[in-house]
């Protein structure tokens, strides 16, 4: 585990570095407070820090305050190392954002014990963050396909329209529906139907860019938001998505299953904040209906009325 040792005294830095390396730490050093803040701000930087109270440019409490003010990612556990022993000084250091303190000269056994406590706290924090992210994922993603769920993809669509309005860029949407999906469930069973839905989701994600958004609206219907995609690029993009589904059969537990998809596509070049998104979805749905009526496994394109 990485640990930062911040001390303006080179002898103290070297001694502390040797003790910590013997305990298996990867030691990063800083000789002043500003350098310490810089090292802790790095992505993948140390999450444990031993910070001397008295340092040039920024003292230890100032380093703690700055890290707490600017560090919004993973928690950094900081111990102030000081010769100050008064209660007022200890309180001042802790109020600045330090988690613990050590009095000079540091006894190696006490140092290791306090760092072990810090590591336990960081491990607990990591578990809490992991649990929070898992809950957030479950709250916004479809349980079967792991795509954005209906509420999340519609929210992303709204946000993308707002961004496009600010930046004067187009947004395109593909409303996709698996053809004859009921027949798949009736002929092969719902387990195979679920396998098809999962594979469709994987193929849709593979057919779009990493910054596009794919969501499951429900059943066999999907919504794809293509940011920055204008009408001139939409046809190629939409056909690529369609072919990703129909281009090869799906391997399932019941054998090979051929699936196709119909698509209703629309490009929004201009959007006003006061406009709801529902009319755009309605036009895309009407285009999807035309694709179904025209024989399925095809893309139909919606034309927005002039007033929209």
Report domain extents, the chain.
Answer: 2-139, 150-301
304 pLDDT higher than 60: yes
Residue 196 pLDDT level (bands cut at 50, 70, 90): very high
User: CB-based contacts of 180: which residues, under 8 Å, 6+ apart?
Assistant: 296
Ramachandran category for residue 71: left, alpha or beta (phi over 0 → left; psi -120 to 50 → alpha): beta
Mean pLDDT, residues 277-304: 94
β-strands 261-268, 299-301 pairing:
parallel
β-strands 261-268, 26-30 pairing:
unpaired
pLDDT at 308: 46
274 pLDDT higher than 90: no
User: CB-based contacts of 51: which residues, under 8 Å, 6+ apart?
Assistant: 4, 6, 33, 36, 60, 63, 64, 78, 79, 80, 81, 98
272 pLDDT higher than 90: no
Give the range among 84-88, 231-235, 236-240, 297-301 with minimum mean pLDDT.
84-88
75 pLDDT higher than 80: yes
State percent of the chain over pLDDT 90.
69
Mean pLDDT, residues 59-79: 88
pLDDT at 259: 96
Find where tokens 């022993």 sit. 85
- Average pLDDT over the chain, rounded to an integer: 91
- Count of H helices and E strands in the chain? 10, 12
Do 49 and 36 touch, CB atoms closer than 8 A? yes
pLDDT digits (tens, 9 = 90+) for 139-178: 999 999 999 999 999 999 999 999 988 898 999 999 999 9
pLDDT at 89: 75
Is it true that domain 150-301 has CATH number 2.60.40.10? no
Domains 2-139 and 150-301 belong to one CATH topology: no
Give the range among 57-66, 96-105, 289-298 with minimum mean pLDDT.
96-105
pLDDT at 282: 94
Whole-angstrom CA distances from 66 to 40, 48, 61, 290 are 10, 15, 9, 59
What superfamily would CATH give domain 2-139? Answer: Response regulator (3.40.50.2300)
Count, residues in the chain:
308
pLDDT digits (tens, 9 = 90+) for 224-269: 999 999 998 999 999 999 999 999 999 999 999 999 999 999 999 8
pLDDT digits (tens, 9 = 90+) for 89-107: 778 888 889 999 888 888 8
Residue 44 pLDDT level (bands cut at 50, 70, 90): confident
pLDDT at 85: 67
Residue 74 pLDDT level (bands cut at 50, 70, 90): confident
Q: Which residues are catalytic?
A: 220
Half-sphere CA count of 8, side-chain side, radius 13 A: 12
pLDDT at 239: 97
306 pLDDT higher than 90: no
Q: What angle do CA 69, 73, 75 make, to 5 degrees?
A: 80
Give the range among 69-78, 200-209, 232-241, 253-262 with minimum mean pLDDT.
69-78
Mean pLDDT, residues 52-74: 88
């Amino acid at each position: 585990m990485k640990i930062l040792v911040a001390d303006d005294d080179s002898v103290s830095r070297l001694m502390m570095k040797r003790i910590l390396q013997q305990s298996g730490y990867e030691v990063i050093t800083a000789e002043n407070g500003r350098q310490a803040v810089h090292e802790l701000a790095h992505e993948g930087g140390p999450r444990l820090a031993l910070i001397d109270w008295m340092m040039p440019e920024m003292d230890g409490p100032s380093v703690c305050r700055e890290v707490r003010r600017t560090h919004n990612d993973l928690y950094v556990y900081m111990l102030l190392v000081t010769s100050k022993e008064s209660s007022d000084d200890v309180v001042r250091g802790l109020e600045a954002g330090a988690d613990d303190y050590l009095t000079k000269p540091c006894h190696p056994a006490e140092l290791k014990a306090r760092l072990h406590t810090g590591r336990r706290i960081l491990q607990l924090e990591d578990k809490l963050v992991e649990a929070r992210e898992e809950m957030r994922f479950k709250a916004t993603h479809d349980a079967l396909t792991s795509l954005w769920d209906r509420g999340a993809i519609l929210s992303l669509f709204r946000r993308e329209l707002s961004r496009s309005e600010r930046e004067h860029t187009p947004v395109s949407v593909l409303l996709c529906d698996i053809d004859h999906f009921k027949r798949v469930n009736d002929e092969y069973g719902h387990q195979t139907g679920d396998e098809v839905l999962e594979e469709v989701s994987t193929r849709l994600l593979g057919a779009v860019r990493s910054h596009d958004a794919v969501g499951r609206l429900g059943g066999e219907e999907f919504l794809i938001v293509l940011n920055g995609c204008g009408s001139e690029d939409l046809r190629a993009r939409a056909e690529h998505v369609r072919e990703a589904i129909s281009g090869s059969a799906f391997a399932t537990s019941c054998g090979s299953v051929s699936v196709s998809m119909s698509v209703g596509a629309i490009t929004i070049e201009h959007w006003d904040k006061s406009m709801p998104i529902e009319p755009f979805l309605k036009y895309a749905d009407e285009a999807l209906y035309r694709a179904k009526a025209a024989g399925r496994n095809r893309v139909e394109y919606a034309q927005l009325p002039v007033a929209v």
